[in-house]
Amino acid sequence: MSDKGNATGHEKLQSGQPGSDPSMLMQLSTAYWGSQVLLTANRMGLFDLLKDDGHSTEELASALGLQPRHLLLFLRACVGLGLLTESPAGQYRNSPLSAAFLVPGAPGFMGNAISYSDNLYDTWGQLEQTLRSGTPPMATDTYTGHDAEKTRHFVYGMHDRALGIGQAMVGIVDLTKYRRMLDIGGGPGTYSSLFARRHPELRSVVMDLPGVVAIASEIIAGLGVADRVDTLAGDYLNDHWPGGNDVVLISGVFHRESEQGCRALIDSARQALEVGGLLVVSDVFTDAGNTTPPFAALFGLNMMLTAPDGGVHADADVGQWMIDAGFTDIQYRQFPPPMPHRVVMGTRA
Ligand SMILES: C[S@@+](CC[C@H](N)C(=O)[O-])C[C@H]1O[C@@H](n2cnc3c(N)ncnc32)[C@H](O)[C@@H]1O
């Protein structure tokens, strides 16, 4: 037998062949360490505390009620991850990344979206049980009305995210010639508000569950478009959709629904649209086959853990469901990286 044929497992690992480097497995198995550092720092208000000045470990320990020795290890890990910087004199400051996205009040603030991930940390720990039971560990209505604090985190988290994604959305979807929009599962109303600000003649109705639209009204007023963006409390699967619209937006909703549910929504959209009206479906979608991009496939698991019919669909399948429902001129768009979102549009024939 040749030397090659006798190669030990160790020699095979050193061969540089595909499959010989286990680094990715190490990264995956410990990825939650870094996540937990970010989630904890965000939860404790560390970035807010550092928004103006640098502080020493002792000052931060005293302000946050923490043990200095333990905090020091934590702060150094934050520095290692690029969340903080450390001066030679032992003063900790927000890194440019944290200053831009993790300080409350910053234009790019993502802390509410991060709190939402924090709320789901224990839920992800129940992945195996969910695969066995087929039931998500967190009741979906916990954060869409039943628990006031979690609902507020969820709605403001959606708003933070939508503010960023919405800037891209209003560039990708041209609503210049449209006047009356229905925004189904519109959540915080951010997209409707951004479209209304872009198109002064556009009016929109944001339909969502009662606990969510109560908070949406605040957000819409804060964006200065309460005169043209209304809210409507309703269940998109069981309640009547107002008709006579020339555009229906369904964003971030398909990932909560099965194929059957999505087809029902497309059918309701067709009925709510005038002939020639536009259906815009935006979401995280996979490529055909549902395995790539990896983030989208993982996102499907996140939705499986948080909604009874949650998952992820391929944009090409959604386009086909629209054709089956009588839509024409199907168009596909992708948001610029790193945004994982895509849009599928069709015209009511
Ligand atoms: C991920 S959010 C998307 C919000 C917003 N459209 C966006 O893209 O940012 C999904 C929304 O669907 C709403 N929703 C879930 N089930 C619903 C139902 N049966 N009827 C109406 N809205 C529902 C949730 O309350 C939530 O606001």
192 vs 186: CA distance, rounded Å: 8
- Give residue 299 CA to ligand 1 midpoint distance, Å: 16
The answer to which of 86-90, 108-112, 139-143, 158-162 has the lowest mean pLDDT is 139-143
Task: Mark whether 290 and 203 lie in a shared domain.
Answer: yes
Q: What is the mean pLDDT of residues 31-35?
A: 98
The domain containing residue 27 runs over which residues?
23-105
Task: Mark whether 167 and 305 lie in a shared domain.
Answer: yes
Segment holding 249, helix H or strand E:
strand 245-251
Task: Mark whether 34 and 164 lie in a shared domain.
Answer: no
Residue 18 reports pLDDT greater than 90: no
| 251 Cβ below 6 A of ligand 1 | yes
Domain contains 148: no
Q: How many structural domains are present in the chain?
A: 2
Rg (CA), the chain: 23
- 341: number of Cβ within 10 Å: 20
Question: Helices 190-198 and 210-222 meet at what angle, rounded to 10?
Answer: 30
Task: Mark whether 205 and 332 lie in a shared domain.
Answer: yes
Q: Could you tell me which residues come within 8 angstroms of residue 34 by beta carbon, excluding any fewer than 6 positions away? A: 81
What is the predicted pLDDT for the residue at 146?
83
What is the predicted pLDDT for the residue at 14?
59
CATH number for the domain spanning 65: value is 1.10.10.10
Q: Between the CA of residue 131 and those of 124, 126, 137, 239, 285, what are the distances in Å?
A: 11, 9, 10, 31, 22
Domain contains 1: no
Q: What is the mean pLDDT of residues 312-330?
A: 98
Domain contains 241: yes
- Give residue 276 CA to ligand 1 midpoint distance, Å: 25
Q: What is the mean pLDDT of residues 77-90?
A: 98
- Give residue 37 CA to ligand 1 midpoint distance, Å: 29
Q: Is 176 helix (H, G, I), strand (E, B) or coil?
A: coil
Task: Mark whether 211 and 306 lie in a shared domain.
Answer: yes
| 111 Cβ below 6 A of ligand 1 | no
Residue 287 reports pLDDT greater than 80: yes
Task: Mark whether 84 and 181 lie in a shared domain.
Answer: no
Q: Mutation test of ligand 1: which of 183, 209, 306 has the most ligand atoms closer than 8 Å to its C-beta?
A: 209
| 256 Cβ below 6 A of ligand 1 | yes
Domain contains 292: yes
Domain contains 121: no
Closest ligand 1 atom, residue 183 Cα:
6
CATH number for the domain spanning 211: value is 3.40.50.150
Closest ligand 1 atom, residue 282 Cα:
8
Question: pTM of this prediction?
Answer: 0.90
Task: Mark whether 67 and 167 lie in a shared domain.
Answer: no
